[in-house]
């Protein structure tokens, strides 16, 4: 079967490139179509709206990030899961700036994402929350709300906070970020 001249993933890639330099607001139908030299009809043949495309960009970033996080967590390498944030940020600086420097809501321009997309977002969030719960149970001794909050903090919030200032300055997170993530992890995990 012959591939379409303009595939959905090509639109996502073009939008992602635009957002890396101009933020989520740079994703417009005209800008993406222009970058691809595609008619806007080709865009609307694949996406019902600008927000649908922007949502796909955001979700593609999240899922790309989560590959390493989920793999480490599934091995029971909880420290590796926390250290995945700075490692991925170094390996993918443009995507890291875009994902970690913006909220999911920054990708929307006032509309709701389609129900099918919302379900995909719920599924990815549930997969991460399940790993937080497993860490809380296996390492912290239970899954009460306080332990779940600690799990989210040590595996996601603290590592993200440690890399954000460096990404905002256009620099790779230095090795001290790994030290901070490791020290925070050990402090929480030893409780």
Angstrom distances, CA of residue 57 to CA of 51, 157, 189: 10, 22, 34
pLDDT in tens, 135-184: 999 999 999 999 999 999 999 999 999 999 999 999 999 999 999 999 99
Least confident of 52-56, 77-81, 144-148: 52-56
pLDDT of residue 116: 79
- Token duo for residue 150: 């600690």
Please, which pLDDT band fits residue 77 given cuts at 50, 70 and 90?
very high
Note the pLDDT of residue 78.
98
Examine the pLDDT at 1 and tell me if it is beyond 70: no
How confident is the model over 9-36, as a mean pLDDT? Answer: 95
User: Residue 105 has what pLDDT?
Assistant: 86
Closest CA relative to residue 173, chosen from 160, 183, 182, 156 = 160
Q: Is the pLDDT higher at 105 or at 10?
A: 10
Longest dimension (CA), the chain: 58
Chain centroid to Cα 92, Å, comes to: 11
- Using the Cα atoms of residue 116, residue 117, residue 118 and residue 120 in order, give the sign of their dihedral: positive
Cα separation, 52 vs 39, in Å, equals 17
Residue 4 pLDDT class (50, 70, 90 cuts): low
At 118 the pLDDT is: 85
pLDDT of residue 6: 85
Residue-wise pLDDT for 98-134, tens only, equals: 999 998 888 887 667 778 788 988 999 999 999 999 9
Confidence tier at 190 by pLDDT (50, 70, 90): confident
28 half-sphere exposure, CB direction, 13 A CA radius = 6
Sign of CA dihedral 29, 35, 41, 43: negative
| Per-residue confidence band for 191, with pLDDT thresholds at 50, 70 and 90 | low
Instruction: Compute the distance between CA of residue 123 and CA of residue 189 in angstroms, rounded to an integer.
Output: 27
Rounded CA-CA distance 133/152 in Å is 9
């Amino acid at each position: 079967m012959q591939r379409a001249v303009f595939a959905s993933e090509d639109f996502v890639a073009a939008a992602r490139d635009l957002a890396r330099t101009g933020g989520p607001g740079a994703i417009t139908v005209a800008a993406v179509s222009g970058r691809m030299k595609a008619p806007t009809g080709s865009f609307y043949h694949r996406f019902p709206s600008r927000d649908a495309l922007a949502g796909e960009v955001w979700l593609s970033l999240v899922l790309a990030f989560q590959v390493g996080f989920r793999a480490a967590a599934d091995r029971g390498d909880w420290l590796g899961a926390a250290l995945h944030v700075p490692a991925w940020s170094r390996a993918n600086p443009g995507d890291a700036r875009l994902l970690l420097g913006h909220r999911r809501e920054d990708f929307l321009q006032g509309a709701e994402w389609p129900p099918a997309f919302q379900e995909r977002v719920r599924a990815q969030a549930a997969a991460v929350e399940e790993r937080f719960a497993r860490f809380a149970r296996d390492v912290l001794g239970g899954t009460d709300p306080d332990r779940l909050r600690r799990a989210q903090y040590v595996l996601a919030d603290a590592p993200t906070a440690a890399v954000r200032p460096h990404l905002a300055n256009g620099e790779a997170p230095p090795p001290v970020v790994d030290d901070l993530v490791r020290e925070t992890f050990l402090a929480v995990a030893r409780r």
